[in-house]
Amino acid sequence: MSLMVQEIHEQPAALERTLRMEHRTIVRIKKIAQRRSFRLVYLIARGTSDNAALFGRYLIEITTKHLTSLAAPSVHTLYRARLDLRRTLAVGISQSGESADVNMVLDACRQQGAFTIGITNHGRSTMAQLVHEVLLIHTGTERSVAATKTYTAQMLLLYELAWALGARFRRREVERLPALAATALQMEGRVKAAAQRYRTMQHCIVVGRGLNYANSYELALKLMETCYVVAERFSAADLLHGPIALIERGFPVFVFLPPGVTRPGLDKLVRRLKQLGAKILLFSNQGRLPPARTALVLPGRIPELWTPIPYTIPAQLFAAYLAEAKGLNPDAPRHLKKITSTV
């Protein structure tokens, strides 16, 4: 078993541990947010952490009244722009806490009036030392280059942060996420069999929308870094604005298909892709599905708000097992190392 697969299996315990150990900190942040009345949430990250931040943008804007933006680090690190960040909550997300550009942006945000939070796995990291508050992801050391358990733990803490900012959900609903992650792991045998059917794949498209849009980015990244597959990612809406011209018979398309407000449009898109002859794989959990070659369906009914973490776990497993089917080592992608330094 690869390290990547081992770490995917560690996620339910890591999520439960993170919930338990960061409870006091998140309660303190909730009180700070009530006192400061932030007008903007500014999320700063790179790589897989940036995909978690993309999820956080949707989550926070959908469930709270806070306008949320993803930082463009070069605005700070290269162009040296000075922004008015008073009443801004700046949140840096980094597995290692040592991403130079993320830390430079956090430092600039603090100097420009923002209250800063770091989400990281390392309490003694550079990030942890420069922010006002630290939320730790208690995943243990992540040895595989491809991040898995840190991604879901970052997403979990973004749920917690949304709750602290006044989200319209109860915290006990967040506490169900470790159990949903464990349920997703029960799909492993079906995911492994599905990966075998795609072992000759060289290119694909990954589609998501709304709360699962970030998962389309994350699966595409995993396919690129562990399987060397050229993977483009689109929202369902953007795919129709031109890129659908790529589709021909046998073209692989992966679709995150949750219940909720995005479902009618996604169903319509999947039927259109089927007409064009696409080789479709669905990640879903509820109701009658549109026609597809393969459907990886989680048991039970999960409201859309809570699907992103359990949906990404079979996607992670798919990438890991596809790499093995291709004769590749998912733990050590070529040209990559665990910590990437950019400015």
Going by pLDDT thresholds of 50, 70 and 90, the confidence category of residue 141 is: confident
pLDDT at 252: 97
Q: With pLDDT > 70 as the criterion, what percentage of the chain qualifies?
A: 97
| Best CA proximity match to 95, nearest among 133, 60, 52 | 52
Please tell me whether residue 294 adopts helix, strand or coil conformation: strand
Instruction: Count the neighbouring beta carbons within 10 Å of the beta carbon of residue 76.
Output: 21
Query: pLDDT of 193-212, one tens digit each?
Result: 999 999 999 999 999 999 99
Beta bridge partners of 120: 94, 136
What is the DSSP-derived secondary structure letter of residue 330?
Answer: T
Whole-number Å distance between alpha carbons of 98 and 194: 37
Q: Tokens 């060289």 appear where?
A: 202
Query: pLDDT of 102-137, one tens digit each?
Result: 999 999 999 999 999 999 999 999 999 999 999 999
Amino acid in position 253: V
Query: pLDDT of 255-300, one tens digit each?
Result: 999 999 999 999 999 999 999 999 999 999 877 888 888 999 998 8
Among the residues of the chain, which ranges form H helices?
3-9, 11-21, 23-36, 47-63, 73-77, 100-111, 126-130, 149-164, 171-174, 177-185, 188-196, 213-227, 236-240, 263-275, 308-325
Taking 70 as the threshold, does the pLDDT of residue 341 lie above it?
Answer: no
Question: What is the average pLDDT across 80-91?
Answer: 95
List, edge to edge, every strand of the sheet that includes 252-257: 230-235, 203-208, 252-257, 279-284, 294-297
| Best CA proximity match to 53, nearest among 237, 251, 227, 217 | 217
Taking 60 as the threshold, does the pLDDT of residue 339 lie above it?
Answer: no
Q: Which domains does the chain have, with CATH numbers?
A: 3-175 (3.40.50.10490), 186-325 (3.40.50.10490)
Question: What is the average pLDDT across 244-249?
Answer: 92
Whole-number Å distance between alpha carbons of 189 and 192: 5
Query: pLDDT of 316-338, one tens digit each?
Result: 999 999 999 999 998 887 755 54
| Best CA proximity match to 29, nearest among 152, 131, 125 | 131
Question: What is the average pLDDT across 16-29?
Answer: 98
Name the burial class of residue 85, with classes exposed (0-12), middle (13-18) and buried (19+) by CB atoms within 10 angstroms of its CB. Answer: buried
pLDDT at 337: 56
Whole-number Å distance between alpha carbons of 94 and 52: 10
Whole-number Å distance between alpha carbons of 71 and 44: 5
CA angle, 316 as apex, 301 and 201 as ends, to 5°? 115
Average pLDDT, the chain: 94
115 and 31 Cβ atoms separated by less than 8 Å: no
H or E segment to which residue 256 belongs: strand 252-257
Whole-model pTM: value is 0.95
CA angle, 138 as apex, 224 and 25 as ends, to 5°? 120
284 and 258 Cβ atoms separated by less than 8 Å: yes
| Best CA proximity match to 40, nearest among 64, 16, 18 | 64
Whole-number Å distance between alpha carbons of 331 and 72: 29
